[in-house]
């Protein structure tokens, strides 16, 4: 027993743990997500990684939802914002920027699902927001419409990536079977009972997911120019 006690290092001999900071916590969460997936990024798991207790983390991050939002904000640094300052049609440049945002979420399925509810509010999200609003301003979109359109554009991109995430990138075989079953149902619709589906069957199934996503962004952008925002009280 004495030998074992003597071999055990005292607490004074252990290297001091680095001080906790919000930046360090979020950086560790990002590394953990990349290694094990977002579902493993919990306050308890993160505390173990940082060699501390979960209660210590709540001083810097209120809950798991805020943590996931902070992780998303860090990843938003990877969005290509260059279209905001490039040349060319402002609509096309805006769509390229939004596609960069959506494709980033496609690369992180768990984060795409979380992003539907967990809204980031850090510097990278502000940079993305500023870039979108700058392009809408360049295009002459009225300020009130631009303010509301921003939310619709990001929601559309986020929801599209989340839908893809729910299907599961590792379930391609099942997804293909589901698609074939749905296509068979559409193409087999009766002209007598479902005449419009029968008439548009091929069109309903046409286009790649990327083509539909790009088209959807253009619909939202162009539609905002013809859809006034209702007169509502503004926050003080």
Q: What is the pLDDT of residue 170?
A: 52
CB 117 within 8 A of CB 68: no
Residues 55 and 93 reside in one and the same domain:
no
Residues 45 and 88 reside in one and the same domain:
no
Measured at the alpha carbon of residue 209, what is the angle toward residues 208 and 211, in degrees to the nearest 5?
A: 65
Residue numbers in the chain where pLDDT is lower than 50 = 1, 5, 10-11, 14, 169
**What is the pTM (predicted TM-score) of this model?**
0.81
Q: What is the pLDDT of residue 104?
A: 93
Q: What is the pLDDT of residue 175?
A: 65
CATH code, domain carrying 161: 1.10.357.10
Range of the domain at 27: 18-61
Residues 158 and 117 reside in one and the same domain:
yes
Distances in Å between the Cα of 13 and the Cα atoms of 7, 16, 107, 235 are 12, 9, 43, 56
Residue 5 placed within a domain? no
Q: Round to whole Å and give the CA distance between 180 and 30.
A: 37
Dig out the tokens for 63 from the structure: 């809950």
Residues 84 and 146 reside in one and the same domain:
yes
Q: Which of 92, 99, 217 is nearest to 152 (CA)?
A: 217
Residues 43 and 159 reside in one and the same domain:
no
Secondary element (H or E) of residue 69: helix 64-75
The total number of structural domains that make up the chain: 2
Quick: pLDDT tens for 60-118: 999 888 888 899 999 999 999 999 999 999 999 999 999 999 999 998 877 888 888 77
Q: What is the pLDDT of residue 111?
A: 82
Residues 38 and 98 reside in one and the same domain:
no
CB 93 within 8 A of CB 86: yes
Q: What is the pLDDT of residue 18?
A: 67
CATH code, domain carrying 27: 1.10.10.60
Residues 39 and 139 reside in one and the same domain:
no
């Amino acid at each position: 027993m004495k030998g074992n006690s003597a071999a055990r290092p005292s607490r004074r001999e252990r290297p001091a743990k680095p001080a906790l900071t919000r930046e360090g916590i979020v950086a560790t969460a990002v590394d953990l997500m990349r290694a094990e997936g977002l579902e493993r990024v919990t306050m308890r798991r993160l505390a173990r990684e940082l060699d501390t207790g979960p209660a210590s983390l709540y001083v810097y991050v209120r809950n798991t939802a805020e943590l996931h939002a902070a992780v998303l904000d860090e990843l938003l640094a990877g969005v290509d914002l260059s279209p905001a300052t490039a040349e060319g049609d402002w609509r096309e440049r805006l769509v390229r920027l939004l596609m960069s945002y959506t494709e980033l979420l496609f690369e992180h399925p768990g984060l795409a699902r979380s992003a539907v509810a967990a809204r980031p509010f850090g510097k990278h999200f502000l940079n993305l927001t500023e870039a979108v609003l700058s392009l809408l301003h360049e295009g002459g979109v009225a300020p009130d419409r631009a303010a509301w359109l921003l939310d619709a554009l990001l929601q559309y991109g986020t929801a599209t990536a989340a839908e893809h995430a729910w299907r599961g990138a590792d379930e391609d075989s099942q997804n293909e079977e589901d698609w074939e079953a749905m296509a068979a149902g559409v193409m087999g619709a009766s002209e007598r009972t479902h005449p419009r589906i029968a008439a548009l069957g091929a069109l309903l199934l046409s286009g790649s997911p990327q083509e539909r996503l790009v088209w959807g962004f253009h619909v939202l952008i162009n539609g905002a120019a013809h859809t006034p925002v209702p007169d509502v009280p503004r926050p003080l």
